[in-house]
């Protein structure tokens, strides 16, 4: 997959004002320690209160960003901004594959004796590297450490946890996630064993995590940490299942299946296991083993998925029809099973009935949460099933609803291809505008597809305070020079008049540079910037920021 395009315009669209300003400061102060390319994505190490890892990739037409920091307050964080700026300016970007090629060349070039000497020197001073070598050298052979010993090691650290407030500092900006920090040291080792196909050792570590979490969730002294403990338990059960899946044959997996059944009975939240059994199971024989051992104990969604894996059509139909209206997550696999077995009408009917139930439940606030994923999945399933010949009105309605749910321009593009008349298109667009009234970014994409410049101009006027503003103005400024100039003035005045901070002045200078690019407005721009220099001549920091523009 090609690397994502990254420009300063894109950065400004993604970040809030605060993150943008801090990100620029991070970049200019040299906190971006390394940038490299791996598996079609940019990666970066950015030094903050600790070393954070940033990943920037492309998913279809969308830019995907991730950072290991705890920031969750709208837009991308300052570390992502700094990393993206480093990429824009080509700072230390390395192609990871080239690094690997260079390493292979060096290993082949150095004779065995000198290579051993080098390893001895490095391993003598790097305990972490030594542990990695031990795991690598062991291969698929298990250690003598039991799952219980792993559990005891984790428990001893859990028991030492303090109250949540201990882990916060000013403005909750650097919450340390203590439960995750404890567990991460164990999961990192498990992942290294798994990479060497030593799945049984990895499973023991995950079992230790799961058992420790299960016990701690019954300890009221750790009540403040229950959410974090529950989360890491769920992750560990899923990771354990992935490693079990890699084992074969069934006789090697029975012990682990038996453990999962016992853990399922002991763990209070059964929904945690919704995907665990399905992930661990490869064959109909394995599904049959679990069903025979625990069918009466399993919640219906798990039992249905195992029945599907087993291939027992009669059980799937009878069990699915009995319970899917109560457990709406069952509707998707049941509908897919119907479709797979060429019962298209039944598949559609099941999915549509489930959507009706969800919509009625969503009117009740108590049932609102947790239903969005189900309805999205069902509508995506129907999108695959409907045909324009027999389901035209349903296709239109379903795509409009998917556009509202997923906020993905791809569904509007599908609508454009399906809609038959201009009148119908205008009616649907009017409806879509109401549904997406607060989503300026998606509306901008829609108007761009339609080449609707008047709507874009109106949207720009309503988006002055949002990150998407510049992208809209850039699209329309050649057509509406005067109006775009006035919109930029409105934007800049927010920073010059309302706030007296250096960060605000930097923002004002940034927008002035963009304003300067509007065609055929040079005289107006010169007069405007002279006005600003005169009006704010006593604000020396501001005058310094706009010097040279």
CA–CA dist 122, 102 (Å, integer)? 19
Rounded (to 5) percent helix, strand, coil in the chain: 70, 5, 25
| Residue whose C-alpha is closest to residue 160's, from 216, 94, 101 | 216
Phi, psi of 461 (to 5 degrees): -65, -30
> CA 471, 472, 475, 479 torsion: positive or negative?
negative
Nearest to 205 by CA among 169, 161, 236: 236
pLDDT score for 37: 85
Name the nearest CA neighbour of 512 among 484, 548, 546, 539.
546
- Tokens at 530, concatenated: 């002279």
Q: How many CA atoms lie within 13 A of 548 on its CB side?
A: 3
Residues 92 and 25 in one domain: yes
Alpha helix positions (H), 217-327: 226-245, 250-266, 276-280, 284-294, 300-310, 313-323
What's the domain count of the chain? Answer: 3
62-67 and 51-59 strand pairing? antiparallel
pLDDT of residue 452: 97
Inside any domain, residue 165:
yes
**For 22, what's the count of Cα atoms within 13 Å in the CB-facing half-sphere?**
14
Q: Where are the alpha helices (DSSP H) in 110-146?
A: 112-125, 127-138
Answer whether residue 195 is part of any domain: yes
pTM of the model: 0.72
Residues β-bridged to residue 51: 47
Please check whether residues 27 and 87 belong to one and the same domain: yes
pLDDT, residue 207, reads 98
Residue 467 domain flag: no
Q: Give the residue from 270, 328, 325 showing the smallest Cα distance to 302.
A: 270
Q: Are 122 and 68 within 8 A, CB to CB?
A: no
Cα gap 177→540, rounded to integer Å: 42
- 271 DSSP assignment: G
Q: Angle between the 147-158 and 199-216 helix axes, to the nearest 10 degrees?
A: 40
The DSSP H or E segment spanning 58 is strand 51-59
- Please, what is the Cα angle at 382 between 363 and 424, to 5 degrees? 80
In a domain, 109, yes or no: no
- Is 56 a member of any domain? yes
For 486-496, the pLDDT digits (tens) are 999 999 988 88
Scored b (16 or more CB within 10 A) or e, 22-56 reads bbbebbeeebbebbbbeeebbbbbbebeeebebbb
d(CA 516, CA 419): 41
Instruction: List the end-to-end C-alpha distance of the chain, in Å, as a whole number.
Output: 39
Rg (CA), the chain: 29
Report if residue 90 sits inside a domain. Answer: yes
Same-domain pairing of 149 and 86: no
52 and 150 assigned to the same domain: no
Asked if 358 and 374 touch (Cβ cutoff 8 Å), the reply is yes
Last residue of a domain, one of 75, 101, 127: 101
**Closest Cα partner for 241 from 306, 311, 293?**
306
Alpha-carbon distance of 185 to 180, in angstroms, equals 9
Task: Identify whether the C-beta of residue 151 lies closer than 8 Å to the C-beta of residue 211.
Answer: yes
Domain-located, residue 65: yes
Q: Do residue 145 and residue 233 come from a single domain? A: yes
- What distance lies between CA 294 and its chain's CA centroid? 34
Same domain, 88 and 185: no
Q: Are 71 and 32 in contact (CB under 8 A)?
A: no
Longest Cα separation, the chain = 84
C-beta separation of 461 from 472 below 8 A: no
What letters, b where the CB count within 10 A reaches 16 and e where it falls short, cover 363-378?
A: eeeeeeeebeebbebb
Q: Two tokens at 391?
A: 């389901």
Number of H helices, E strands in the chain: 29, 5
The residue from 217, 246, 275 where one domain ends is 246
Considering the domain architecture, whether residues 64 and 144 belong to the same structural domain is answered as no
How far is residue 9's CA from residue 246's CA, in Å, rounded to a whole number?
45
Indicate if 85 and 167 belong to the same structural domain. no
CB of 35 within 8 A of CB of 85? no
End residue of a domain, out of 229, 246, 263: 246
For residue 350, is it within any domain?
Answer: no
The residue range of the domain holding 79 is 8-101
Specify the pLDDT at position 175: 46
How far apart (Å, rounded) are the C-alpha atoms in residues 263 and 272?
11
Low-confidence ranges of the chain (pLDDT < 70): 1, 73-74, 91-101, 167-176, 362-372, 498-500
**DSSP classification of residue 420:** -
């Amino acid at each position: 997959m090609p690397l994502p395009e990254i420009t300063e315009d894109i950065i400004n669209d993604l970040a809030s004002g605060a993150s943008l300003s801090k990100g620029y400061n991070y970049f200019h102060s040299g906190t971006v320690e390394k940038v490299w390319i791996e598996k079609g994505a940019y990666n970066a190490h950015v030094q903050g209160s600790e070393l954070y890892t940033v990943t920037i990739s492309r998913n279809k037409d969308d830019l995907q960003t991730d950072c290991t920091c705890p920031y969750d307050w709208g837009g991308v964080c300052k570390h992502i901004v700094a990393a993206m700026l480093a990429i824009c300016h080509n700072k230390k970007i390395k192609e990871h594959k080239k690094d690997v090629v260079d390493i292979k060349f060096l290993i082949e070039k150095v004779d065995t004796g000198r290579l051993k000497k080098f390893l001895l020197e490095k391993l003598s001073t790097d305990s972490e590297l030594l542990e990695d070598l031990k795991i690598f050298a062991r291969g698929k052979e298990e250690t003598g450490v039991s799952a219980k010993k792993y559990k005891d090691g984790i428990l001893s650290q859990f028991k030492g946890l303090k109250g949540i407030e201990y882990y916060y500092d000013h403005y909750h900006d650097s919450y340390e996630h203590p439960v995750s920090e404890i567990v991460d040291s164990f999961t990192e080792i498990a992942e290294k064993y798994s990479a060497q196909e030593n799945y049984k050792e990895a499973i023991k570590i995950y079992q230790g995590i799961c058992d420790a979490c299960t016990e701690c969730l019954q300890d009221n002294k750790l009540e403040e940490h229950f959410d974090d403990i529950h989360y890491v338990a769920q992750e560990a059960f899923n990771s354990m299942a992935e490693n079990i899946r890699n084992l074969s044959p069934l006789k090697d997996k029975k012990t682990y299946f038996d453990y999962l059944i016992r853990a399922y009975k002991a763990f209070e939240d059964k929904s945690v296991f919704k995907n665990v059994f399905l992930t661990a199971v490869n064959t109909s024989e394995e599904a049959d083993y679990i069903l025979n051992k625990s069918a009466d104990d399993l919640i219906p969604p798990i039992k249905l998925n195992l029945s599907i894996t087993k291939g027992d059509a009669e059980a799937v139909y009878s069990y699915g029809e009995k319970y899917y209206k109560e457990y709406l997550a069952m509707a998707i696999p049941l509908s897919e099973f119907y479709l797979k077995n060429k019962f298209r009408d039944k598949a559609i009917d099941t999915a549509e009935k489930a959507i009706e139930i969800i919509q009625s439940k969503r009117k009740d606030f108590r049932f609102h949460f947790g239903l969005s994923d189900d309805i999205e999945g069902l509508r995506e399933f129907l999108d695959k099933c409907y045909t324009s010949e027999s389901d035209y009105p349903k296709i239109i309605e379903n795509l409009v609803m998917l556009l509202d749910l997923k906020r993905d321009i791809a569904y509007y593009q599908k609508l454009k291809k399906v809609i038959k008349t201009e009148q119908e298109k205008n009616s649907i667009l009017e409806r879509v505008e109401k549904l997406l009234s607060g989503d300026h970014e998606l509306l901008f994409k829609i108007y761009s597809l339609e080449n609707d410049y008047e709507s874009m101009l109106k949207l720009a006027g309503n988006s002055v305070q949002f990150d998407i503003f510049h992208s809209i103005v850039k699209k329309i400024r050649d057509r509406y020079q005067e109006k775009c100039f006035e919109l930029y003035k409105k934007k800049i005045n927010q920073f010059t008049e309302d706030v007296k901070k250096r960060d605000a002045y930097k923002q004002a200078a940034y927008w002035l540079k963009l304003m300067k690019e509007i065609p055929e407005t040079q005289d107006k721009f010169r007069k405007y910037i002279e006005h600003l220099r005169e009006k704010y001549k006593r604000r020396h920091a501001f005058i310094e920021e706009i010097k040279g523009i």
